[in-house]
Structure 1
Amino acid sequence: MTASSILKPIIAAPSSTLPFLFILMWSSGYVVGKLALPYAGPFTLLFLRFALAALVLLAIALLTRAPWPTGWKPAAHLVVVGLLMQALQFSSLYTGLKLGVSAGVSALIVGTMPLFTALGASVLLHERVNGRQWLGLAAGLGGVALVVADRIGGATLAGLGAVSLALVGITLSTLYQKKYCSNADLRTGGCIQLTVAGIVALPLALWFEGFEVRWGMELLLASGWLSVVNSIGAVSLLFLMMRTGEASKVASLFYLVPGTTALMGFAVLGETPGAMTLAGFMVTAGAVYVCTRQRRIRCTGR
Structure 2
Amino acid sequence: MSAAGESAWLRAMPWAFVLIWSTGFIVARYGMPHAPPMSFLALRYALSILCFLPWILLAGVRWPASRTQALHLAVTGMLMHAGYLGGVWAAVKAGMGSGLSSLIVGVQPVLTAIWLSSVAGQHVSRRQWLGLVLGFAGLVLVVSRKFGAGGPGDQASWLNLALALLALLSITAGTLYQKRYVQACDVRSANTVQLAAALVVTLPLALLEAEPMRWTLPGGAPNVELIGAMAWSVLGLTLGGSSLLYMLIQRGAAASVASLMYLVPPCTALIAWLLFAEPVTAVTLAGTAVTAFGVSLVVRVPKRAG
Task: Find out whether 1:28 has 2:23 as its counterpart.
Answer: yes
Change (3 A) 1:193 1:261: same
CA contact (8 A) 1:133 1:291 kept: yes
CA shift digits 1:186-242 (9 cap, x unpaired): 111111111221222222222123543324343333212111211121111112122
- Going from structure 1 to structure 2, the CA distance change for 1:278 and 1:182 (only over 3 Å counts) comes to farther
The 8 Å contact of residues 44 and 209 in structure 1, kept in 2 or not, is answered as no
Matches within 5 A, 1:182-201: 182-201=183-202
Q: Distance in 1 between matches of 2:176 and 2:142?
A: 26
In structure 1, the residue matched to 2:228 is: 221
Shift of 1:275: 2.6
In the alignment, does 2:154 pair up with 1:147?
A: no
Q: Distance in 2 between matches of 1:193 and 1:64?
A: 19
- In the comparison of the two structures, how many residue pairs are matched? 288
Deviation (angstroms), 1:46: 1.0
Q: Whole-Å Cα distance in 2 between the matches of residues 145 and 129 of structure 1?
A: 23
Query: How big is the shift at 1:11?
Result: 5.8
SS at match of 2:23: helix
Q: Which residue is 2:74 aligned to?
A: 79
Q: Is the 1:111–1:254 contact (alpha carbons within 8 Å) kept by the matching residues of 2?
A: yes
Report the counterpart of residue 203 of structure 2 in structure 1: 202
8 Å CA contact retained: 2:36, 2:211: no
**Would you say 1:238 and 2:245 are equivalent positions?**
yes
3-state secondary structure, aligned to 2:208: helix
Task: Note the C-alpha offset of 1:124.
Answer: 5.0
- Equivalents in 2 of 1:208, 1:68: separation in Å? 34
Q: Which piece of structure 1 moves more, 129-138 or 66-75?
A: 66-75
Q: Which amino acid aligns with 1:254?
A: M
Cα deviation, 1:138-178, whole Å, max 9, x if unaligned, reads: 11111111111222244112211110110001000001111
2:62 aligned with 1:61: no
Match of 2:117 among 122, 128, 144: 122
- Segments of 5+ residues of structure 1 without an aligned counterpart are 297-302
User: Shift of residue 60 of structure 1?
Assistant: 1.1
The alpha-carbon deviation at position 185 of structure 1 amounts to: 2.2
Amino acid across the alignment from 1:236: S
CA shift for structure 1 position 98:
2.5
Whole-Å Cα distance in 1 between the matches of residues 288 and 254 of structure 2?
A: 22
Aligned-pair CA distance for 1:106: 0.3
Instruction: Give the Cα–Cα distance (whole angstroms) in 2 for the partners of residues 37 and 158 of structure 1.
Output: 18
Taking structure 1 as the reference length, the TM-score comes to: 0.89
Structure 2 alignment gaps of length 5 or more: 148-153, 217-221
Q: Is 1:177 aligned with 2:178?
A: yes
Instruction: Provide the residue aligned with 2:131 in structure 1.
Output: 136
CA contact (8 A) 1:39 1:213 kept: yes
Deviations 1:114-151 (A, max 9, x none): 11112223345543210110011011111111111222
Question: What's the RMSD between the two structures over aligned residues?
Answer: 2.1
- 2:282 counterpart of 1:287: no
Change (3 A) 1:269 1:199: farther
Q: Secondary structure at the match of 1:88?
A: helix
Cα displacement string for residues 28-65 of structure 1 (whole angstroms, at most 9, x for unaligned residues):
12212311223322222212211111111111111112
Distance change >3 Å, CA 114–CA 32, structure 1 → 2: same
Q: TM-score, normalised to structure 2's length?
A: 0.87
Structure having the higher Rg? 2
Q: CA shift at 1:23, angstroms?
A: 0.5
Mean Cα displacement is larger for which, 42-51 or 147-156? 147-156
* CA 1:11–1:251: 2 relative to 1, 3 Å: farther
Deviation at 1:94, TM superposition (A): 1.8
> What is residue 268 of structure 1 aligned with on the other side?
275
State the 1:274 CA deviation: 2.6
Task: Give the stretch that moved more between structures: 134-143 or 182-191.
Answer: 182-191
Distance 1:105 1:273 in 2: 18
Distance 2:40 2:179 in 1: 28
